[in-house]
């Protein structure tokens, strides 16, 4: 059995799902958490995600990553919605997450 953490960065929230993946390939959700950040709200009449929202997202990642460490989760996958690619600081945003939390599987 393998534990996997999945982080989804959506237009309105950051969601975390922790699951056990069984040898058969099936999975069982152990825990879920969600935080309403409303990242896309910054893109209405603007072309970038604010530093406040970036910092709020990083704070959520810090909590999720700590939980993974406590529960001995080895694999963490993070994905972001395509809505955020419209921000001109999207690459910077992803770079910060990858650098601060050593999450290479971020798309």
CATH number at residue 20: 3.30.420.40
Choice among 2-6, 12-16, 79-83, 88-92 with the minimum mean pLDDT:
79-83
Longest Cα–Cα distance in the chain: 48
Full-model pTM: 0.81
Quote the domain boundaries for residue 31: 2-101
Instruction: Say how many domains are in the chain.
Output: 1
Q: Is residue 96 part of a domain?
A: yes
What is d(CA 53, CA 62) in angstroms, rounded to the nearest whole number?
Answer: 14
Quote the percentage of the chain above a pLDDT of 70.
96
The token duo for 100 is 């601060």
In the predicted structure, residue 107 carries a pLDDT above the cut 70? no
Question: Per-residue pLDDT for 104 more than 70?
Answer: no
Using one digit for the tens of pLDDT, what is the confidence trace for 9-38? 888 899 999 999 998 989 999 999 999 988
């Amino acid at each position: 059995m393998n534990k996997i953490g999945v982080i989804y960065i959506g237009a309105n929230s950051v969601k975390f799902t922790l699951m056990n993946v069984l040898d058969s390939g099936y999975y069982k959700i152990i825990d879920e958490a969600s935080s309403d950040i409303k990242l896309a709200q910054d893109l209405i009449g603007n072309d970038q995600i604010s530093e406040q929202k970036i910092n709020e997202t990083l704070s959520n990642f810090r909590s999720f990553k700590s939980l993974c460490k406590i529960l001995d989760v080895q694999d963490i996958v993070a994905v972001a919605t395509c809505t955020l690619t419209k921000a001109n600081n999207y690459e910077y945003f992803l770079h910060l997450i990858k650098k601060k939390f050593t999450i290479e599987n971020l798309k």
